[in-house]
Every structure is written in C-alpha cells, then in structure tokens.
Amino acid sequence: MESNKKTIKIIAVTAAVTCLLTNTVRDIMYVHDNGVINHKVKKVANIISDYGLYDIDEEKMADYAATGLAVAVDDHYTNYYSKEEFASFNTSLSNSFYGIGIVISVDPETNKLVVVSPIEGGPSANAGILPGDYIVAVDGVEYSGDQMNEAVSLMRGDSLENKKGTQVTVTIERNGARSDYVITRDIVRINSVNSKMLDDEVAYVRITAFNAVDDKSDGSQDTYDEFKAAIDSLQQEGMKKLVIDLRNNPGGSLSVVNRIADELLPAGIITYTETKTGKRQDYTSTAGELGIPMVVLVNGGSASASEVLTGALKDYKKATIIGTKTFGKGIVQTVIPLGDGSGISLTTSKYFSPSGVCIHGVGIEPDIVVEADETKQISDLSVEEDVQLQKAIEVLKQ
C-alpha cells in the first residue's frame, strides 16, 4: 500500500501483540447497502476497466478501494488489511514470533511513530529502546505516523524468507537527539505474567500484556491462566498484600482483562461499552474477591486493557494507584475477517469505567504520583532501585 495509507494508531505488528482493546468477530461483516459509496466505487471501476489504456489488477484495485474506505473514517485505529497484511496481523497475535519485539503508536501531536513499550527480553528491549522514544527512520528511510504499516513491515522483515539473525537499523529520537540502533531480529516469546514474594507478606505480580489464546490444545496459556496460577502460588507462600505492576503494558484482550478483574473485584460492573447508537454492553464481576490491600503501578505505557483494570480497581477503591498518568485509550476495536483472507480492524465503541468515565485521550491520574527514571528498563531495576515499587511497598506497609 502507498505511504499515505491510514494505519491503526496503537497496533504495532512489529511487536506482534495486540495493543488494542479488541473484540474478535469470526463471521463476515458486510458493508451496508450504501448507494452513494457503492455507486461511486462501481462507476469508477467500470470506467477504468472499459476505457483505460492499461490492464488492471482487479484484486489490487479492490484492496486500494477498501483502503480508501478505511482512510475516510479518519481514525488511526481503523485499518483495512490485504490478504498478506491480515495473515501477518493474525500471526502477530500469537505468543511467539520473529521480529524485533516492540509496540509502537502514533503521537497525534507530532504525527511521529512513538514507542509504547518494548517487549521485555525482546531484541528492542535488549538493544536499549525505551518507552517514549520516537522512531524517525528505518534503515535510513524516514517514516511519519501516516506510514506506520510500511515502517512496521520493514522492521519486522516481512519481505525476508528467513528473519532470524537479520538486522535492521532503527533511528531513535530521544530528548531531541537522534541515535541509530542496530537490532537483530529474533524469536520473541511473550510470557505475560511474572510474580514473586517481596517479603513475608507483600507479593508482586507484573502483567506485561493481556494475551488471549484461541487454541489451548498444545498447553498454551493466556494471561488469565498465568495470572491465576501466580495468585494461587503466592497465596500458598503467605501473600497478604499485593502489588500489580501494569507499567508499559499496552493492553490486549477485553475478555482476558475482565476475567482477571473478576478475581480481584466484588460483584458489579467492571467496565461497559457504548456504540455510536448508544447500545450499551456491561462486563461484570461475580461475587467473591481477592480481599487484600493492593497497589497498582502504572505509567504512560499503560494503555487500553491496562486502563480497564486500573480504572475498575480505582473506582471500587480496592487499590491505590501509584506512578504516572496512563496512556489514555478508551475505545474498542473489532477485528473482522472478510472471507477472502483480507480483514479490517474497526473502532466500534467506547469503554467506560464503573463510575461512567471514558478516559480516551485523557488517561488515568494515579492516586500518588511518583516519577521514575525512564532511561532504564523496569525489568533491569532491583527492588531497591525501583522508586515506584518502593512507594508501593511503603503504602502497603502503612
């Protein structure tokens, strides 16, 4: 597709995780019988076919027409995928893939590609890429936010038959200065939950994404499975207080985050969505809750599903929120296959916290603001060096 193709703002398939708060539709969704759209597209196609000097590639023409329809929505999150792109997108939802392991977005103020979070243990994180970095060029070619698909494809190495061990040069702008990072593509494995006891009472659980798994026949676990196993183990070790770390968690599956919230909250609304016609859908928790003091750590890389969990715990006053303001993504996308291998991701609704707040474009302010040194990866910090975690422990001890 051309460089002016509209792209999804927060999915960076380079990272091969979904950073959207998504619902997935398995059936085919057809465009309504809109006379203006259908008449114009059909008329132009017929004129080109009947009177054009050159032969046309009908599949290519259809892809460009569909791309144009998505562009007209004027929404970074709405995007049409050709067969090749949709196959790559679906691959991106798996728990392991080849690439550079990075989640990117578009800064609406600068129209630059911005790093939401590098995947821990992945090539980008190991190379020193940090949340908030701007990606201004790939292999010497400059890219803007409107060219995200092209930049993502190049970073991921879509044109390469064997990606493992190949390199890509990513130019990063940080604090106004540019630096080149040579990153070696490798397999990226996503282990979305890490946990440990910090002392005899305080437990720590870090969730790096809310991943879903369609087929568990091979023993694969989604993030809820990992979280539940971690909580069960920590309870056996004497957990009485809990730190949930959602820093640099770009989001993921709505159903997965709701199942996790159900483990932590009393009966009631976790979140609800509304379409443009006002149709509302409630997501609720059942009776029973963890029932221990909790702190949630967040920052500007905490987005989408992370904000669903944070907002619910904050509204129910079940956790103290510590860190810096979250990303601010309060809209839901539906991923729709079109039956011929292609597909579309479409913004279909807004989501709200239990108290009725939509944080889209606003984010969630923490109860206690604690700034941190963002030049270091969270996973590289010791408990003593992590000032936000230290504040969480202090609050729980009180």
Catalytic hit among 92, 192, 195, 304 = 304
Catalytic hit among 6, 163, 241, 329 = 329
CATH number of domain containing 262: 3.90.226.10
- Do the Cβ atoms of 226 and 219 come closer than 8 Å? no
Alpha carbon distance 21, 253 (integer Å):
6
Q: For the chain, state the CA radius of gyration.
A: 22
Write out pLDDT tens, residues 149-184.
789 889 989 888 888 899 999 999 999 999 999 999
Average pLDDT over the chain, rounded to an integer:
87
Q: Across 88-97, 188-197, 265-274, 378-387, which has the greatest mean pLDDT?
A: 265-274
Domain span at 276: 191-331+349-397
Residue 143: name the closest of 17, 14, 251 by CA: 14
- Do the Cβ atoms of 106 and 7 come closer than 8 Å? yes
Report yes or no on 215 lying in a domain.
Answer: yes
Report pLDDT for 93.
55
Report yes or no on 5 lying in a domain.
Answer: no
Report yes or no on 336 lying in a domain.
Answer: no
Report pLDDT for 6.
30
Report yes or no on 10 lying in a domain.
Answer: no
Report pLDDT for 263.
98
Instruction: Decide if pLDDT at 19 tops 50.
Output: no
Q: What is the mean pLDDT of residues 130-141?
A: 95
Report yes or no on 121 lying in a domain.
Answer: no
Catalytic hit among 315, 318, 349, 391 = 315
Q: Across 97-101, 114-118, 171-175, which has the greatest mean pLDDT?
A: 171-175
How many domains is the chain partitioned into structurally?
1
- Do the Cβ atoms of 22 and 306 come closer than 8 Å? no
Alpha carbon distance 70, 283 (integer Å):
29
pLDDT band at 244 (very low <50, low <70, confident <90, very high): very high
Residue 240: name the closest of 194, 204, 285 by CA: 204
pTM for the model: 0.74
Strand intervals (E) in 159-311:
167-174, 177-184, 186-189, 193-197, 202-207, 241-245, 268-274, 280-285, 294-298
Report yes or no on 245 lying in a domain.
Answer: yes
Instruction: Decide if pLDDT at 74 tops 50.
Output: yes
Report pLDDT for 1.
38
Lowest-confidence pick of 2-11, 102-111, 120-129, 379-388? 2-11
* Residue pointed to by tokens 């809820």: 224
Q: Give me the phi and psi of 116, to 5 degrees please.
A: -80, -50
Q: Looking only at Cα atoms, what is the longest distance across the chain?
A: 79
Report pLDDT for 67.
93
Report yes or no on 232 lying in a domain.
Answer: yes
Instruction: Decide if pLDDT at 32 tops 70.
Output: no
Can 304 be counted among the known catalytic residues?
Answer: yes
Report pLDDT for 206.
97
Report yes or no on 206 lying in a domain.
Answer: yes
Alpha carbon distance 251, 327 (integer Å):
10
Can 325 be counted among the known catalytic residues?
Answer: no
Report pLDDT for 31.
47
Can 317 be counted among the known catalytic residues?
Answer: no
* Helix H or strand E segment including 24: strand 21-24
Considering the chain, what percentage of its residues have pLDDT values greater than 70? Answer: 88
Report pLDDT for 229.
97
